[in-house]
Chains A and B, each alone.
Chain A
Amino acid sequence: MTSPSLLSRGLCILPLCLAASLASAQSSSPGSQGKLLLTGGVTTVEGAAGGGLTPWAVTGSYATDGQIGGTGALTRVRTRDYSLTSVAVAASYGERFEVSLAHQDFDTGPVAGALAGALKDPAFNGLRLKQDIVGLKARVAGDAILDSDNWMPQVAVGLEYKKAKPGHLAAALQAFGAKDNGTDIYVSATKLFLAQGILVNGTLRATKANQTGLLGFGATGHDSYQIKPEVSVAYLLSSSLAVGAEYRAKPDNFRDNNALGAGTLKEDRWMDLFLAWTPNKHASITLAYVDLGKIVPGVVTRKQTGSYVSAQLAF
Protein backbone atom coordinates (compact mmCIF):
# COMPACT_ATOMS: atom_id res chain seq x y z
CA MET A 1 0.00 0.00 0.00
CA THR A 2 1.28 3.42 -0.87
CA SER A 3 1.47 5.98 1.89
CA PRO A 4 -1.83 7.92 1.94
CA SER A 5 -0.12 11.17 2.89
CA LEU A 6 2.14 11.01 -0.15
CA LEU A 7 -0.86 10.44 -2.39
CA SER A 8 -2.84 13.22 -0.77
CA ARG A 9 -0.05 15.64 -1.51
CA GLY A 10 0.39 14.42 -5.06
CA LEU A 11 -3.26 14.62 -6.00
CA CYS A 12 -4.37 17.71 -4.13
CA ILE A 13 -5.28 19.41 -7.36
CA LEU A 14 -8.47 17.36 -7.22
CA PRO A 15 -11.36 19.15 -5.53
CA LEU A 16 -12.08 15.86 -3.80
CA CYS A 17 -8.83 16.09 -1.91
CA LEU A 18 -10.44 17.14 1.34
CA ALA A 19 -12.78 14.18 1.45
CA ALA A 20 -9.95 11.85 0.64
CA SER A 21 -7.69 13.33 3.31
CA LEU A 22 -10.39 12.81 5.89
CA ALA A 23 -10.81 9.23 4.79
CA SER A 24 -7.04 8.68 4.95
CA ALA A 25 -6.88 10.05 8.46
CA GLN A 26 -9.39 7.49 9.66
CA SER A 27 -7.41 4.56 8.33
CA SER A 28 -3.90 5.13 9.62
CA SER A 29 -4.12 1.68 11.19
CA PRO A 30 -4.00 -1.28 8.83
CA GLY A 31 -7.39 -2.28 7.43
CA SER A 32 -9.05 -5.16 9.17
CA GLN A 33 -10.57 -6.32 5.90
CA GLY A 34 -8.48 -8.84 4.06
CA LYS A 35 -8.60 -8.09 0.34
CA LEU A 36 -5.87 -6.23 -1.51
CA LEU A 37 -6.34 -2.59 -2.39
CA LEU A 38 -8.43 -1.90 -5.55
CA THR A 39 -9.47 -5.56 -5.83
CA GLY A 40 -13.10 -4.89 -4.91
CA GLY A 41 -13.52 -2.71 -7.99
CA VAL A 42 -15.78 0.31 -7.70
CA THR A 43 -19.58 0.64 -7.76
CA THR A 44 -21.35 0.54 -11.12
CA VAL A 45 -24.26 2.85 -11.94
CA GLU A 46 -26.48 -0.19 -11.40
CA GLY A 47 -25.12 -0.99 -7.94
CA ALA A 48 -23.02 -4.13 -8.49
CA ALA A 49 -19.25 -4.02 -7.99
CA GLY A 50 -17.27 -3.59 -11.17
CA GLY A 51 -16.17 -0.75 -13.31
CA GLY A 52 -18.43 2.24 -13.81
CA LEU A 53 -20.74 0.90 -16.51
CA THR A 54 -20.29 -2.86 -16.31
CA PRO A 55 -20.22 -5.43 -13.50
CA TRP A 56 -17.08 -7.45 -12.81
CA ALA A 57 -16.70 -10.92 -11.31
CA VAL A 58 -15.30 -9.42 -8.09
CA THR A 59 -17.46 -8.87 -5.03
CA GLY A 60 -17.60 -5.35 -3.61
CA SER A 61 -15.92 -4.26 -0.36
CA TYR A 62 -12.72 -5.68 1.09
CA ALA A 63 -14.31 -8.72 2.75
CA THR A 64 -12.44 -11.91 1.97
CA ASP A 65 -13.16 -15.49 3.06
CA GLY A 66 -15.39 -15.57 6.12
CA GLN A 67 -15.77 -11.78 6.35
CA ILE A 68 -18.75 -9.52 5.69
CA GLY A 69 -18.31 -6.12 4.09
CA GLY A 70 -20.36 -3.34 2.61
CA THR A 71 -20.14 -0.34 0.32
CA GLY A 72 -22.14 2.79 -0.32
CA ALA A 73 -21.69 4.93 -3.40
CA LEU A 74 -22.99 8.08 -4.98
CA THR A 75 -22.55 8.49 -8.74
CA ARG A 76 -23.32 11.51 -10.88
CA VAL A 77 -23.22 11.46 -14.68
CA ARG A 78 -23.63 14.71 -16.61
CA THR A 79 -23.80 14.69 -20.38
CA ARG A 80 -24.38 17.64 -22.69
CA ASP A 81 -28.17 17.45 -22.33
CA TYR A 82 -28.98 14.92 -19.61
CA SER A 83 -27.90 13.87 -16.13
CA LEU A 84 -28.15 10.72 -14.07
CA THR A 85 -27.75 10.29 -10.31
CA SER A 86 -27.34 6.85 -8.81
CA VAL A 87 -27.27 5.97 -5.12
CA ALA A 88 -26.23 2.42 -4.31
CA VAL A 89 -25.42 0.16 -1.39
CA ALA A 90 -24.02 -3.35 -1.49
CA ALA A 91 -23.13 -6.08 0.99
CA SER A 92 -20.92 -9.04 0.36
CA TYR A 93 -20.09 -12.26 2.16
CA GLY A 94 -16.54 -13.44 1.67
CA GLU A 95 -15.57 -13.32 -1.98
CA ARG A 96 -18.63 -15.44 -2.71
CA PHE A 97 -21.91 -13.47 -2.68
CA GLU A 98 -22.94 -9.88 -3.24
CA VAL A 99 -26.33 -8.20 -2.83
CA SER A 100 -26.81 -4.66 -4.13
CA LEU A 101 -29.52 -2.03 -4.22
CA ALA A 102 -29.49 1.04 -6.45
CA HIS A 103 -31.81 3.93 -7.14
CA GLN A 104 -31.38 5.91 -10.35
CA ASP A 105 -32.83 9.30 -11.24
CA PHE A 106 -32.45 10.46 -14.85
CA ASP A 107 -33.14 14.07 -15.82
CA THR A 108 -34.55 14.06 -19.37
CA GLY A 109 -33.44 17.63 -20.06
CA PRO A 110 -34.78 19.06 -23.34
CA VAL A 111 -36.80 15.91 -24.12
CA ALA A 112 -39.30 16.80 -21.40
CA GLY A 113 -40.09 20.18 -22.96
CA ALA A 114 -40.23 18.69 -26.45
CA LEU A 115 -42.75 16.09 -25.35
CA ALA A 116 -44.83 18.69 -23.51
CA GLY A 117 -44.93 20.83 -26.66
CA ALA A 118 -45.51 18.07 -29.21
CA LEU A 119 -48.22 16.35 -27.18
CA LYS A 120 -49.64 19.57 -25.74
CA ASP A 121 -49.35 18.09 -22.25
CA PRO A 122 -47.51 20.30 -19.74
CA ALA A 123 -47.28 17.37 -17.33
CA PHE A 124 -44.22 16.23 -19.32
CA ASN A 125 -42.26 19.30 -18.22
CA GLY A 126 -39.42 18.35 -15.86
CA LEU A 127 -39.86 14.66 -16.66
CA ARG A 128 -37.57 12.37 -14.66
CA LEU A 129 -37.12 8.67 -15.28
CA LYS A 130 -36.42 6.69 -12.14
CA GLN A 131 -35.42 3.10 -11.60
CA ASP A 132 -34.80 0.75 -8.67
CA ILE A 133 -32.39 -2.15 -9.11
CA VAL A 134 -31.83 -5.19 -6.91
CA GLY A 135 -28.67 -7.08 -7.79
CA LEU A 136 -27.41 -10.53 -6.82
CA LYS A 137 -23.99 -11.88 -7.76
CA ALA A 138 -22.24 -15.14 -6.95
CA ARG A 139 -18.62 -15.99 -7.69
CA VAL A 140 -18.58 -19.47 -9.16
CA ALA A 141 -14.91 -20.02 -9.98
CA GLY A 142 -11.40 -18.68 -9.98
CA ASP A 143 -9.37 -15.97 -8.29
CA ALA A 144 -8.86 -12.82 -10.34
CA ILE A 145 -5.74 -11.74 -8.45
CA LEU A 146 -3.70 -14.61 -7.02
CA ASP A 147 -3.73 -17.15 -9.87
CA SER A 148 -1.11 -15.12 -11.71
CA ASP A 149 0.52 -18.17 -13.32
CA ASN A 150 -2.42 -19.18 -15.50
CA TRP A 151 -5.19 -17.73 -17.65
CA MET A 152 -8.10 -18.81 -15.51
CA PRO A 153 -10.21 -15.75 -14.65
CA GLN A 154 -12.51 -15.20 -11.72
CA VAL A 155 -16.03 -15.96 -12.90
CA ALA A 156 -19.31 -14.78 -11.43
CA VAL A 157 -22.95 -15.01 -12.43
CA GLY A 158 -25.41 -12.31 -11.51
CA LEU A 159 -28.83 -10.88 -12.04
CA GLU A 160 -30.28 -7.42 -11.81
CA TYR A 161 -34.01 -7.09 -11.21
CA LYS A 162 -35.07 -3.64 -12.37
CA LYS A 163 -38.27 -1.74 -11.74
CA ALA A 164 -38.66 1.34 -13.93
CA LYS A 165 -40.63 4.36 -12.75
CA PRO A 166 -40.98 6.46 -15.90
CA GLY A 167 -43.46 8.92 -14.40
CA HIS A 168 -45.70 10.63 -16.94
CA LEU A 169 -44.06 8.64 -19.75
CA ALA A 170 -45.43 5.32 -18.40
CA ALA A 171 -48.55 5.23 -20.61
CA ALA A 172 -46.53 5.92 -23.78
CA LEU A 173 -43.94 3.23 -22.99
CA GLN A 174 -46.75 0.76 -22.35
CA ALA A 175 -48.28 1.69 -25.72
CA PHE A 176 -44.86 1.04 -27.35
CA GLY A 177 -44.88 -2.47 -25.90
CA ALA A 178 -42.36 -1.88 -23.09
CA LYS A 179 -42.86 -3.47 -19.68
CA ASP A 180 -42.01 -1.53 -16.52
CA ASN A 181 -39.82 -4.24 -15.04
CA GLY A 182 -37.25 -6.74 -16.23
CA THR A 183 -34.37 -8.91 -15.13
CA ASP A 184 -30.88 -8.82 -16.65
CA ILE A 185 -28.82 -11.99 -16.25
CA TYR A 186 -25.06 -11.86 -16.72
CA VAL A 187 -21.86 -13.81 -16.48
CA SER A 188 -18.61 -11.91 -15.87
CA ALA A 189 -15.01 -13.05 -16.12
CA THR A 190 -12.29 -10.89 -14.54
CA LYS A 191 -8.54 -11.43 -14.69
CA LEU A 192 -5.68 -9.36 -13.33
CA PHE A 193 -2.52 -9.96 -15.32
CA LEU A 194 -0.46 -9.16 -12.26
CA ALA A 195 3.01 -9.11 -13.82
CA GLN A 196 1.79 -6.58 -16.39
CA GLY A 197 -0.56 -4.70 -14.03
CA ILE A 198 -3.46 -5.05 -16.47
CA LEU A 199 -6.99 -6.02 -15.47
CA VAL A 200 -9.45 -7.29 -18.07
CA ASN A 201 -13.15 -7.98 -17.61
CA GLY A 202 -15.64 -9.42 -20.04
CA THR A 203 -19.35 -9.62 -19.32
CA LEU A 204 -22.17 -11.16 -21.33
CA ARG A 205 -25.55 -9.78 -20.35
CA ALA A 206 -28.92 -11.20 -21.37
CA THR A 207 -31.30 -8.25 -21.32
CA LYS A 208 -34.47 -6.73 -22.73
CA ALA A 209 -33.76 -3.29 -21.26
CA ASN A 210 -34.23 -0.02 -23.18
CA GLN A 211 -31.53 2.47 -22.07
CA THR A 212 -30.64 0.00 -19.29
CA GLY A 213 -34.29 -0.04 -18.17
CA LEU A 214 -34.94 3.68 -17.76
CA LEU A 215 -37.23 3.37 -20.82
CA GLY A 216 -38.66 0.01 -19.79
CA PHE A 217 -38.07 -3.48 -21.11
CA GLY A 218 -38.74 -4.79 -24.60
CA ALA A 219 -40.86 -3.20 -27.31
CA THR A 220 -43.52 -4.22 -29.80
CA GLY A 221 -41.87 -6.73 -32.14
CA HIS A 222 -38.62 -6.84 -30.13
CA ASP A 223 -39.50 -8.54 -26.91
CA SER A 224 -36.96 -11.34 -26.54
CA TYR A 225 -33.78 -11.45 -24.52
CA GLN A 226 -30.63 -10.43 -26.35
CA ILE A 227 -27.10 -11.23 -25.24
CA LYS A 228 -24.84 -8.19 -25.29
CA PRO A 229 -21.08 -7.95 -24.54
CA GLU A 230 -19.47 -5.53 -22.13
CA VAL A 231 -15.70 -5.07 -21.78
CA SER A 232 -13.46 -3.26 -19.30
CA VAL A 233 -9.69 -2.89 -19.42
CA ALA A 234 -7.69 -1.20 -16.66
CA TYR A 235 -4.01 -0.47 -16.15
CA LEU A 236 -2.62 -0.12 -12.64
CA LEU A 237 -0.47 2.99 -12.31
CA SER A 238 0.18 2.25 -8.63
CA SER A 239 -1.38 0.08 -5.96
CA SER A 240 -4.05 2.75 -5.50
CA LEU A 241 -4.52 4.29 -8.93
CA ALA A 242 -5.93 2.74 -12.11
CA VAL A 243 -6.84 4.09 -15.54
CA GLY A 244 -9.03 2.26 -17.99
CA ALA A 245 -11.74 2.11 -20.59
CA GLU A 246 -15.11 0.43 -20.87
CA TYR A 247 -17.52 -0.51 -23.61
CA ARG A 248 -21.10 -1.68 -23.14
CA ALA A 249 -23.27 -2.87 -26.01
CA LYS A 250 -27.03 -2.41 -25.57
CA PRO A 251 -30.17 -3.61 -27.35
CA ASP A 252 -32.04 -1.25 -29.67
CA ASN A 253 -35.60 -2.47 -29.17
CA PHE A 254 -37.24 0.79 -30.28
CA ARG A 255 -35.50 0.85 -33.68
CA ASP A 256 -38.78 0.16 -35.50
CA ASN A 257 -40.84 2.52 -33.36
CA ASN A 258 -42.32 5.22 -35.58
CA ALA A 259 -44.84 6.66 -33.13
CA LEU A 260 -42.57 9.65 -32.44
CA GLY A 261 -40.96 9.65 -35.90
CA ALA A 262 -38.61 7.03 -37.36
CA GLY A 263 -35.48 6.45 -35.27
CA THR A 264 -36.48 8.90 -32.56
CA LEU A 265 -35.71 6.41 -29.79
CA LYS A 266 -32.71 4.73 -31.42
CA GLU A 267 -30.23 3.51 -28.83
CA ASP A 268 -26.40 3.49 -28.90
CA ARG A 269 -23.63 1.71 -26.97
CA TRP A 270 -22.03 3.29 -23.93
CA MET A 271 -18.30 3.90 -23.45
CA ASP A 272 -16.03 5.56 -20.94
CA LEU A 273 -12.42 6.35 -20.05
CA PHE A 274 -11.88 6.28 -16.29
CA LEU A 275 -9.42 7.06 -13.51
CA ALA A 276 -10.05 5.27 -10.20
CA TRP A 277 -8.26 6.28 -7.05
CA THR A 278 -8.41 4.21 -3.87
CA PRO A 279 -6.29 5.97 -1.23
CA ASN A 280 -7.23 3.34 1.35
CA LYS A 281 -9.68 0.52 1.99
CA HIS A 282 -12.47 2.86 3.03
CA ALA A 283 -12.76 5.29 0.16
CA SER A 284 -12.47 5.44 -3.58
CA ILE A 285 -13.16 8.07 -6.18
CA THR A 286 -13.74 7.40 -9.86
CA LEU A 287 -13.62 10.10 -12.50
CA ALA A 288 -14.53 9.33 -16.09
CA TYR A 289 -15.21 10.78 -19.49
CA VAL A 290 -18.35 9.12 -20.82
CA ASP A 291 -19.75 8.76 -24.32
CA LEU A 292 -23.34 7.51 -24.09
CA GLY A 293 -23.95 7.91 -27.81
CA LYS A 294 -27.15 9.57 -28.93
CA ILE A 295 -30.09 9.40 -26.54
CA VAL A 296 -33.53 10.00 -28.06
CA PRO A 297 -31.87 11.30 -31.26
CA GLY A 298 -35.26 12.32 -32.65
CA VAL A 299 -35.20 15.21 -30.17
CA VAL A 300 -31.54 15.74 -29.29
CA THR A 301 -29.27 14.94 -32.21
CA ARG A 302 -25.84 15.52 -30.65
CA LYS A 303 -23.81 12.80 -28.97
CA GLN A 304 -24.08 12.65 -25.20
CA THR A 305 -20.53 12.99 -23.96
CA GLY A 306 -19.73 14.23 -20.50
CA SER A 307 -18.42 13.53 -17.03
CA TYR A 308 -18.82 10.74 -14.53
CA VAL A 309 -17.94 11.18 -10.87
CA SER A 310 -18.43 8.46 -8.31
CA ALA A 311 -17.48 8.34 -4.65
CA GLN A 312 -17.55 5.10 -2.71
CA LEU A 313 -17.16 4.34 0.97
CA ALA A 314 -16.38 0.78 2.05
CA PHE A 315 -16.36 -0.92 5.43
Chain B
Amino acid sequence: MNFHRPHCLLLAATLALATATAAHAQATSSVTPLPNDALYQQFGGQPGLTKLMDEFVERLVVDPRTERFFKNANKPHLKAQLTDQLCEVSGGPCKLKGPAMADVHGNMGINKGDFNALVEVLQQTMNAQGIPFAAQNRMLAQLAPMHRDIITAE
Protein backbone atom coordinates (compact mmCIF):
# COMPACT_ATOMS: atom_id res chain seq x y z
CA MET B 1 0.00 0.00 0.00
CA ASN B 2 1.37 3.38 -0.95
CA PHE B 3 0.55 6.17 1.44
CA HIS B 4 2.03 9.59 1.14
CA ARG B 5 1.25 10.93 4.59
CA PRO B 6 1.83 8.08 7.06
CA HIS B 7 2.14 10.51 9.98
CA CYS B 8 -1.55 11.35 9.78
CA LEU B 9 -2.68 7.73 9.71
CA LEU B 10 -0.41 6.66 12.55
CA LEU B 11 -1.48 9.63 14.62
CA ALA B 12 -5.14 8.87 14.05
CA ALA B 13 -4.66 5.22 15.00
CA THR B 14 -2.76 6.20 18.13
CA LEU B 15 -5.39 8.67 19.21
CA ALA B 16 -8.14 6.13 18.67
CA LEU B 17 -6.31 3.59 20.84
CA ALA B 18 -5.47 6.17 23.51
CA THR B 19 -9.15 7.12 23.70
CA ALA B 20 -10.13 3.48 24.06
CA THR B 21 -7.68 3.15 26.96
CA ALA B 22 -9.02 6.21 28.69
CA ALA B 23 -12.48 4.64 28.57
CA HIS B 24 -11.04 1.47 30.09
CA ALA B 25 -9.34 3.31 32.90
CA GLN B 26 -12.77 4.43 34.14
CA ALA B 27 -13.81 0.86 34.80
CA THR B 28 -13.19 -0.56 38.25
CA SER B 29 -11.46 -3.89 38.55
CA SER B 30 -13.58 -6.84 39.53
CA VAL B 31 -12.80 -10.51 39.57
CA THR B 32 -13.61 -12.37 36.38
CA PRO B 33 -15.56 -15.46 37.50
CA LEU B 34 -14.24 -18.81 36.29
CA PRO B 35 -16.67 -21.39 34.89
CA ASN B 36 -15.54 -24.11 37.31
CA ASP B 37 -13.18 -24.85 40.20
CA ALA B 38 -10.44 -26.54 38.11
CA LEU B 39 -7.85 -23.88 38.99
CA TYR B 40 -8.78 -24.07 42.68
CA GLN B 41 -8.30 -27.84 42.55
CA GLN B 42 -4.93 -27.44 40.75
CA PHE B 43 -3.76 -25.38 43.70
CA GLY B 44 -4.72 -28.18 46.06
CA GLY B 45 -8.04 -26.72 47.23
CA GLN B 46 -8.26 -25.16 50.68
CA PRO B 47 -5.29 -27.06 52.21
CA GLY B 48 -3.08 -26.21 49.22
CA LEU B 49 -3.97 -22.51 49.25
CA THR B 50 -3.57 -22.29 53.03
CA LYS B 51 -0.06 -23.74 52.77
CA LEU B 52 0.77 -21.48 49.82
CA MET B 53 -0.40 -18.28 51.54
CA ASP B 54 1.38 -19.26 54.76
CA GLU B 55 4.72 -19.38 52.93
CA PHE B 56 3.85 -16.34 50.78
CA VAL B 57 3.27 -14.08 53.79
CA GLU B 58 6.41 -15.36 55.53
CA ARG B 59 8.37 -14.43 52.38
CA LEU B 60 6.67 -11.02 52.07
CA VAL B 61 7.66 -9.94 55.57
CA VAL B 62 11.35 -10.68 54.96
CA ASP B 63 11.81 -9.70 51.31
CA PRO B 64 13.59 -6.31 51.32
CA ARG B 65 11.28 -5.04 48.57
CA THR B 66 8.02 -5.82 50.36
CA GLU B 67 8.80 -5.97 54.08
CA ARG B 68 7.86 -2.35 54.81
CA PHE B 69 4.30 -2.98 53.64
CA PHE B 70 3.85 -6.14 55.70
CA LYS B 71 6.05 -5.97 58.80
CA ASN B 72 3.24 -4.57 60.96
CA ALA B 73 0.54 -6.78 59.51
CA ASN B 74 -1.51 -9.20 61.59
CA LYS B 75 -0.04 -12.27 59.92
CA PRO B 76 -2.72 -14.87 60.79
CA HIS B 77 -5.45 -12.46 59.61
CA LEU B 78 -3.53 -11.60 56.42
CA LYS B 79 -2.95 -15.26 55.60
CA ALA B 80 -6.63 -16.06 56.11
CA GLN B 81 -7.74 -13.11 53.97
CA LEU B 82 -5.34 -14.00 51.14
CA THR B 83 -6.37 -17.65 51.25
CA ASP B 84 -10.03 -16.64 50.92
CA GLN B 85 -9.19 -14.27 48.10
CA LEU B 86 -7.25 -16.81 46.03
CA CYS B 87 -9.93 -19.40 46.76
CA GLU B 88 -12.58 -17.01 45.42
CA VAL B 89 -10.71 -15.92 42.26
CA SER B 90 -9.72 -19.50 41.39
CA GLY B 91 -13.33 -20.69 41.37
CA GLY B 92 -13.36 -22.15 44.88
CA PRO B 93 -16.29 -22.05 47.35
CA CYS B 94 -15.20 -18.90 49.19
CA LYS B 95 -16.16 -15.26 49.34
CA LEU B 96 -13.61 -12.71 50.52
CA LYS B 97 -15.16 -10.64 53.31
CA GLY B 98 -13.85 -7.24 54.25
CA PRO B 99 -13.37 -3.80 52.77
CA ALA B 100 -12.78 -3.24 49.04
CA MET B 101 -9.22 -3.61 47.70
CA ALA B 102 -9.09 0.08 46.78
CA ASP B 103 -10.07 1.13 50.32
CA VAL B 104 -7.40 -1.05 51.89
CA HIS B 105 -4.58 -0.03 49.55
CA GLY B 106 -5.53 3.51 48.52
CA ASN B 107 -3.25 5.36 50.93
CA MET B 108 -0.35 2.92 51.12
CA GLY B 109 1.66 4.64 48.37
CA ILE B 110 2.21 1.44 46.43
CA ASN B 111 3.88 1.92 43.04
CA LYS B 112 4.21 -0.46 40.12
CA GLY B 113 7.66 -1.66 41.20
CA ASP B 114 6.24 -2.60 44.61
CA PHE B 115 3.30 -4.40 42.99
CA ASN B 116 5.59 -6.34 40.64
CA ALA B 117 7.84 -7.27 43.58
CA LEU B 118 4.83 -8.84 45.30
CA VAL B 119 4.00 -10.73 42.09
CA GLU B 120 7.57 -12.03 41.97
CA VAL B 121 7.44 -13.18 45.60
CA LEU B 122 4.20 -15.01 44.76
CA GLN B 123 5.91 -16.61 41.73
CA GLN B 124 8.82 -17.70 43.94
CA THR B 125 6.39 -19.19 46.44
CA MET B 126 4.43 -21.03 43.75
CA ASN B 127 7.70 -22.36 42.29
CA ALA B 128 8.82 -23.50 45.74
CA GLN B 129 5.54 -25.40 46.19
CA GLY B 130 5.70 -26.98 42.75
CA ILE B 131 2.68 -25.28 41.16
CA PRO B 132 2.87 -25.88 37.38
CA PHE B 133 3.80 -22.76 35.36
CA ALA B 134 0.57 -22.78 33.32
CA ALA B 135 -1.53 -22.88 36.51
CA GLN B 136 0.58 -20.08 37.99
CA ASN B 137 -0.20 -17.89 34.97
CA ARG B 138 -3.92 -18.59 35.19
CA MET B 139 -3.90 -17.53 38.84
CA LEU B 140 -1.80 -14.43 38.09
CA ALA B 141 -4.21 -13.50 35.28
CA GLN B 142 -7.04 -13.51 37.85
CA LEU B 143 -5.05 -11.32 40.24
CA ALA B 144 -3.17 -8.90 37.96
CA PRO B 145 -6.14 -6.60 37.14
CA MET B 146 -6.23 -5.67 40.85
CA HIS B 147 -3.29 -3.38 40.02
CA ARG B 148 -5.91 -0.73 39.22
CA ASP B 149 -7.05 -0.66 42.85
CA ILE B 150 -3.65 -1.17 44.45
CA ILE B 151 -1.14 0.97 42.54
CA THR B 152 -1.69 4.59 43.53
CA ALA B 153 1.84 6.03 43.36
CA GLU B 154 4.38 6.62 40.61
Contacts and interface: CB of A to CB of B under 8 A. Distances in A.
Interface string B57-89: 000000111000000000000000000000000
B4 to A, nearest CB: 5
A196 B140 CA distance: 11
Given A66-B154, A197-B134, A239-B123, A146 B145 contact: yes
The size class of the interface chain B forms with chain A is 35 or more
B10 A185 contact: yes
Contact of B147 (A66, A146, A187, A204): A146
A111 to B, nearest CB: 29
A95 B115 CA distance: 14
Contacts, number: 125
B111 interface: yes
B127 A36 contact: no
Contact of A34 (B13, B24, B113): B113
Nearest to A2: B127
B24 to A, nearest CB: 5
A226 B2 CA distance: 5
A150 interface: yes
A200 B102 CA distance: 30
A34 B114 contact: yes
A141 B21 contact: yes
A135 B128 CA distance: 41
B41 interface: no
B137 interface: yes
A35 interface: yes
A140 B10 contact: no
A262 interface: no
Contact of B2 (A66, A141, A186, A224): A224
14 contacts: A2-B127, A64-B112, A65-B111, A140-B14, A140-B17, A142-B17, A149-B29, A157-B14, A189-B17, A194-B140, A206-B6, A206-B7, A224-B4, A225-B6
Interface of B: 1-4, 6-7, 9-10, 13-14, 17-18, 20-21, 24, 29, 32, 63-65, 111-117, 119-120, 123-124, 127, 133-134, 137-138, 140-142, 144-145, 147, 154
Interface of A: 1-3, 30, 33-37, 64-67, 94-95, 140-143, 145-150, 152, 155, 157, 185-187, 189, 194-197, 204, 206, 224-227, 236-239
